Chain A
Amino acid sequence: MTTPELELGLDTFGYITVDESGQPLAPDVVIRNYVEEAVLADSVGIDSFNIGEHYRPDFMDSAAHVVLAAIAGRTKRIRLGTAVTVLSTQDPVRVYTNFATLDAVSNGRAQLVVGRGSLTESFPLFGFDLADYEELFEEKLDLLTRLLRDQPVTWSGKFRSPLVNQYVTPALPEGHLPTWVGVGGSPQSVVRAARYGLPLMLAVIGGPPGRFAPLVELYKRALDAYGHAPLPIGMHSHGYIARTDQEAVDIQWPYWKETFEKAALERGWARPTMARFQAERADGSLYIGSPETVATKIAAMMRLLGLSRFDLAYATGRMPHPQRLATIELYGREVIPRVRELLADHPVPPISSSYPAKAVTAPTHV
């Protein structure tokens, strides 16, 4: 019996950051910098470090498993995951081999959040039609869960060659490689996560978190309808922590504004304003402020929605590396202990029940 536990992690997209003079850093420097950020996260007691998946000039996260393996070699405790793996355009067999191997080299610390992703550049890049996204995700999730649970796998689908009585290595010890489904707010996606018996990660980039209560209820009802025990639910949102509320606002605002100005142009969203930024900070889904402000807000939201996991997408935009390190330090040393204190009596489903992998004993001669 595993004691119910909270997971408080960090998510990054590997933003191309700037130096103190405002000049963008080279991609290789950016990647080594966020490896350092993960090493710091481990040393200050953060539970997990999770990397996104994009193929864009402003995000250096196109091969999360490679970076996570580098982090694994320099850390002992922190869980290493994704936020999210765009499963729709990946081969589930390759996802399995990469992350089962990461699990081995990290001594059981690998985890996944799989989703469709909210940006779509991977579809043309890997030769998929975005119009197939529902079918693609469904089929690939089906194969991935089979690989995690039912080896050897006999499987056929529309988008890749069939597998016949196939073992894929390395085998995972039972309970390893917990795999969550990341959703943006589509009820159908929530029901699908429940149907597969996988824990749910809500990606929330704006608006009051309480509006997700009906989706949480839907997930619980759907788990029950499909005959699954309760599973953990988590949330990913943006934030930044500094010594005081004002300092946090002053540091994060220009980069947040720049990032969402760009998104407004590219995606047709409303333009960012200071009023909206402050409203999101007060009642919405921005976790920006002093350690006490942010801890109180995280704990209230987790209690309201009955969550057991929160991933802070820390330091939005091109914010320089030293300021990223500063916020990681405060998150680990002050925010997380305070959230745990505030949620000491908060019941959550045991994480262990969410582990999809069953023990696989592959014959050694296959």
Chain B
Amino acid sequence: MSSGETGERRLGIVGAGRVGTTIARAAIAAGYDVAISGSGGAERIALIVEVLAPGARAVTTEEVVAHSDVIVLAVPMHRFRELPRDLFAGKILIDAMNYWEEIDGVDQELATAPAGTSILVQERFPSARVVKSLNHITYYKFDEGRRPHGAPGRIAMAAAGDDRAAVAAVMQLVDRLGFDAVDAGPLEAGLALEPDGPVFGVSYSADELSSLLWPAASSA
């Protein structure tokens, strides 16, 4: 079974809004071949992609899936259930979505998900290898916070998932994008990466992020 990220730098992104185009820009800068889709035909997002993520290719969602073994899901959270259940079969699917009541409406299932919303994403796409990541830093840090591996002051991002090979692949992607990667544990640990969680919206170093996500380990 392919683990996704290794030497080849290809990335697919579903969602051409603020988050999707921002991640696309960071991936292009990291040397990735990026394919990105919005809702509907590629022509609807062509100008957006050309201006906000030059170098990425605006395509259909089916073409995004065919393009890469690693796909970022960055649609408004209330829309993910509209995608076919087996669309991402065998793919590493990075759940970069957050539930925002002001955008997604009142959705009790998402609002009260006891083990985090990524569990619901995994349930929706049972054949995908879901990893929660890229969702917890302020989006403009993807532009301004990128640093080479080992650079001082590098910001960290966490990845949570049950498929450990998939988590390792996402951590490699995070590092290549310009951020230290922290393993947050299983998919349900992704709850800590969500809005209202202990690390959301603030830039931390890898040590700080680890100690917030693994307080017992760091105090031991």
Contacts and interface: CB of A to CB of B under 8 A. Distances in A.
- Do these two chains interact? yes
Contacts of B18: 185-187
Interface stretch (B100-108, B121-129, B170-178): B100-108
B17 A131 contact: no
Sorting the interface of chain A by its residue count into under 10, 10 to 19, 20 to 34 or 35 or more gives 20 to 34
Contacts of A207: 138, 140
Given A207-B138, A211-B144, A268-B200, A187 B104 contact: no
Contacts of A225: 47
A186 B52 CA distance: 11
B140 A120 contact: no
A211 B140 contact: yes
Given A131-B78, A191-B47, A208-B140, A268 B105 contact: no
A270 B16 CA distance: 25
B62 interface: no
A217 interface: yes
B143 interface: yes
Interface bracket on B: 20 to 34
A218 B51 contact: yes
Contacts of B109: none
A130 B48 contact: no
Contacts of A186: 17-18
B83 interface: no
A277 to B, nearest CB: 14
Contact of B51 (A118, A208, A211, A217): A217
Given A120-B102, A130-B105, A270-B202, A187 B17 contact: yes
Interface string A93-121: 00000000000000000000000001110
B58 to A, nearest CB: 12
A182 to B, nearest CB: 15
B52 A214 contact: yes
B102 A118 contact: yes
A268 B38 CA distance: 26
Contacts of B21: 187
A269 B138 CA distance: 10
B196 interface: yes
B110 to A, nearest CB: 12
Contact of B104 (A130, A211, A218, A222): A130
A303 to B, nearest CB: 20
Interface of B: 16-18, 21, 38, 47-48, 50-52, 78, 98, 100-106, 138, 140, 143-144, 194-196, 200-202
**Shortest 8 CB-CB distances between A and B: which pairs?**
A268-B195, A130-B105, A270-B201, A268-B196, A218-B51, A120-B102, A187-B48, A211-B140
